């Protein structure tokens, strides 16, 4: 797969490209039509703006996939197991069985994943869990980490 974003390709030694040129039947990158602009080269001999460099710029916007973030629960010695199970069911839409497995994983390993989300969704989950734990006076900690 080609890289995301705007790409450019430098083409050297194209003496037919002078000043500003636009090839209306321009070359293609993949299957896309792209404009071609010849850049002026200040080092060109004779002090004119002749150029032997062309820049092909991708004009079609490329959709970037958003970064993903894991939302993690951390173990502690005081939050009741039932409370953690409830949190995982309520904020991560897990079944009671899955929530129990996640809680036990955290209990035994110190940390465990409740879900993977885009940045703003992950941030919202962390805030919701932390607010809910604080409201019930439990020290449960929830954090996010970039995948």
Interacting residue ranges for ligand TYC, rule: CB under 6 A: 73-77, 79-81, 84, 103, 106-107, 140
Q: State how far the Cα of 14 lies from the Cα of 37, in Å rounded to an integer.
A: 12
Residues forming beta bridges with residue 57, ordered by sequence position = 8
How many other C-beta atoms can be found within 10 angstroms of the C-beta atom of residue 79? Answer: 22
DSSP H helices in 19-145: 81-92, 96-109, 119-135
Based on CB atoms, which residue is closest to ligand TYC, 8 or 108?
108
Report in angstroms how near the CB of residue 88 gets to ligand TYC at its nearest. Answer: 9
Report in angstroms how near the CB of residue 120 gets to ligand TYC at its nearest. Answer: 23
Based on CB atoms, which residue is closest to ligand TYC, 36 or 129?
129
Report in angstroms how near the CB of residue 30 gets to ligand TYC at its nearest. Answer: 48
Based on CB atoms, which residue is closest to ligand TYC, 38 or 73?
73
Report in angstroms how near the CB of residue 139 gets to ligand TYC at its nearest. Answer: 8
Based on CB atoms, which residue is closest to ligand TYC, 56 or 122?
122
Q: State how far the Cα of 45 lies from the Cα of 37, in Å rounded to an integer.
A: 20
Output the CA torsion sign for 95, 101, 104, 106. negative
Residues forming beta bridges with residue 104, ordered by sequence position = none
């Amino acid at each position: 797969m080609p890289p995301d974003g705007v790409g450019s390709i430098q083409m050297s030694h194209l003496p037919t490209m002078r000043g500003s040129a636009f090839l209306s039947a321009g070359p293609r990158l993949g299957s896309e039509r792209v404009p071609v602009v010849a850049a002026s080269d200040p080092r060109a001999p004779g002090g004119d703006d002749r150029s032997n460099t062309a820049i092909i710029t991708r004009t079609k916007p490329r959709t970037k996939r958003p970064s993903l973030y894991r939302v993690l629960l951390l173990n502690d010695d005081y939050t009741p197991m039932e409370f953690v199970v409830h949190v995982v069911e309520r904020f991560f839409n897990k079944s009671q069985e899955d929530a129990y497995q996640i809680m036990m994983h955290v209990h035994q390993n110190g940390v465990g994943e409740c879900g993977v989300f885009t940045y703003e969704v992950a941030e919202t989950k962390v805030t919701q869990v932390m607010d809910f734990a604080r409201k019930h006076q439990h020290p449960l900690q929830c954090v996010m980490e970039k995948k």
